[in-house]
Every structure is written in C-alpha cells, then in structure tokens.
Amino acid sequence: MILTVTLNMALDVTYEVPSVDWDGVNRVGAVHRRAGGKGVNVARVLAALGREVLVTGLVGGPTGRAIEEDLESAGLRSELCGIAGDSRTTLAVCETGGSRDRRTALFNEPGPQVTPAELAGFVRRYTSLASAADVVVVSGSLPRGVPADFYATLAGIPAAPVIVDADGDPLRHAPKGRPAVVKPNAEELARAFPGGQGAQELRSQGAEAVVVSMGADGLLAVTGEGTFRARMPYTVEGNPTGAGDALVAGLAMDMAEEWPDRLRRAAALGAAAVAAPVAGAFDRDVYADIHPQIVIT
C-alpha cells in the first residue's frame, strides 16, 4: 500500500476558457471541481495505474466535507484528520484556444490555521498508517500553524521509505528526516539553494536521492548509485498543473526498481499529465507513446 500525505488539502477548481481577457468578462467553457492537493493528485494517478493507495491529511469545514465527498465518489480510500478551520480552495484558469502559447494561471489560498493539538493528533494517526505502508509520499504546502520542519519530522518516524515533494523552508529542512527521495523542481531547488549545488547539498544533509524535474528538459536524479538524466523526445502542450505529482507517482510505484526504469516511467507520467485537463489525471495515449522514447543517460 502507498500512503499519500496532504496536510494542506484543497478543493481544486479548474476553469477552461478559450483565452483570458484580464480587463474584461470571461465566459468559462468548462468547470472541474475535485479534491486536490499534491498528495491527492499522486493518489489519483496511482489508483488509475492499479496501485493500492490510501490518502491521509487534514480537512475541515464545509470545504473539507466537499473534499471528503469527492474522494469517496472517486473511490479513493482515505483516513483523514478533522480540524476546526475550513480547508482551502485553489483555482486554475486554463486557456484552451488553438495557440501554442496557451497559459495556465493558478491561484492558491493559504489554507486553514492548525492547532498544536490537531497536529499532534495527526502525528499519531500518521505513525499508525505509515507502519502499514510500503511507501509514503509527503507533498505540498503546509497550512498555517505547521512548523517548517514538519516534513522532516514525518520522514524521521521509523516506517516505510518516504518521498518528499516540497518547496521553500520545508524543502530545506526535509533531508534532516533522511527521506528516501526528495523531489523539487528546478525553480524550487534554485530558490532553496541559490549556489547551484542544491541536489548535492540535499544529499549531503541526509536525503538518499534527489530527483529534480526540469519540465520539457526532463529529469535529473542524483543518487547513491550515480547521477542519471532522463531526456524527453518532444514537448507535450497542455496544462502543467499536476505534472510533478504524476511524476512522483511514477517514482513511488516501485522503490526497488532500477533508477533508469523509475526515471523513464516518472518522466513519461509527468508528460502525460500535461496532456490531461485537470491535475491528478494523465493521458494514457501520450504515456504509451512517449515512455519508450525517453532516453536515460
């Protein structure tokens, strides 16, 4: 079983519009509303690939109830911890016109305030769930009231191998928990470690491996077995929201697999997610086409 952790769970709303007029009225062509947050997106991809997955995290208020209802309707098994604050909503505005310059704008609310008692309750629940998992994925932003080193705390609890996907201070602190994999994108890594040696720095501080996503330029993995690069054969156009989550799902599927195979699948899933309209989905045709063409060096 793969356990995904989403502390700042959200109700994701996606607006599809032909093009955005930022000074006028826009007519929305399609609206998608579904439970989200990075760990939920990872879980959706894993479930679509036939893997047993369990979703945990923090939810509260009317938005939290909507999240729980959507998880249930999607058939995603969950064990969530309730909080007093209302869970957040995110909004993605995606241009769907014929231009190759289609843009996506993402608006993320900060999330609810979490009390120390609520956080302690979650740690107890997480410790129990992680002990029964084969892999744990901890990803996304932290709601207010959660300390910046909390992902390191979770990774340091003796259990299954942990993959951490984080930004900012949570990324900088993550290696202290000795996670199996830390997965930033190139921009996140540069912000956290401006000197240009971020992957090596994360490993020197305790991460077993670091996988850096670089968009159309593929993936870079710095591991104990060596450094690997996944190169994409072509660029997939679409909505990049959720591509990193699909990539993480690919890394989590089989932690015992050789790095070249893991990277190839992860890169292919990330590209296939760009071709899907909403985060947590991927285009199976794109995945099947691009997977064998990815070159690992």
Catalytic residue among 245, 254, 261, 289, which? 245
Q: Which of 196, 236, 225 is nearest to 212 (CA)?
A: 196
What does DSSP assign to residue 235?
A: P
Residue 256 CB-half CA count within 13 A = 2
Give residue 228's region: left, alpha or beta (phi > 0; psi -120 to 50): beta
Q: Is 206 helix (H, G, I), strand (E, B) or coil?
A: coil
- Residues near 98 by Cβ (< 8 Å), separated by ≥ 6? none
The rounded distance, in Å, linking the Cα atoms of 152 and 221 is 20
* Both tokens assigned to 118: 């609520």
In order of 7, 47, 123, 136, 268, the CA distances from 157 in angstroms are: 16, 25, 9, 11, 31
Give residue 43's region: left, alpha or beta (phi > 0; psi -120 to 50): alpha
Quick one: CA dihedral 253, 259, 265, 266, positive or negative? Answer: positive
- Residues near 13 by Cβ (< 8 Å), separated by ≥ 6? 31, 32, 33, 89, 90, 91, 92
The rounded distance, in Å, linking the Cα atoms of 136 and 125 is 14
Q: End-to-end CA distance of the chain, in Å?
A: 31
Q: Give catalytic status of residue 245 as yes or no.
A: yes
* Both tokens assigned to 222: 């710095």
Q: Which of 76, 66, 47, 48 is nearest to 9 (CA)?
A: 66
Q: List, by residue number, the catalytic residues.
A: 245
